[in-house]
Amino acid sequence: MEVRRYESVVVFNPKLNDAQVKEEIKKVEGILTSNKATITGVDQWGKKELSFSFKKQKFGVFVTFSYETSNHDAPSELQSILRISDSVHKFQTHLINTKPRKFKGNPKRLTQPRTDGEDFDFGGESFE
């Protein structure tokens, strides 16, 4: 199986102190390593304001986990445990795509520059 790279962003309860946040991070790392994932990075963003209040909280502690795994069930296992955790407000996992995407231009867009010297047609109005 091919190795895929993932990134999970977890928003913890802001009422947790630093020691409790570190303990929760170790739990998430333990879940990932038990599912044969290699953790490539953990980034703590700290306490940030949420764009909307959630469970009567306006803030959350943001932590990102970057990991690689050939076990493609590891992200779903992590999500199922985070979903029932009381200390987690929100979470989201993304597959990091390493393959370059081919860009196909818009066929309706003009490919040749206009030669008449005018770039825009303002409907006959003059802006002087």
Nearest CA to 88 out of 26, 29, 16, 35 is that of: 16
Please report which helix (H) or strand (E) contains residue 64, including its range: strand 57-69
Q: What is the DSSP letter of 34?
A: H
| φ, ψ (nearest 5 deg) of residue 94 | -125, 140
CATH number of 4-89: 3.30.70.60
Query: By mean pLDDT, which of 26-35, 99-108, 116-125 is the weakest?
Result: 116-125
- Can you give the residue ranges of every domain in the chain? 4-89
CA 106 to chain centre: 28
| Alpha carbon distance 49, 59 (integer Å) | 4
**Span 60-107, pLDDT tens digits:** 999 999 999 998 899 999 999 999 998 999 999 999 887 777 777 776
**Span 34-48, pLDDT tens digits:** 999 999 999 999 899
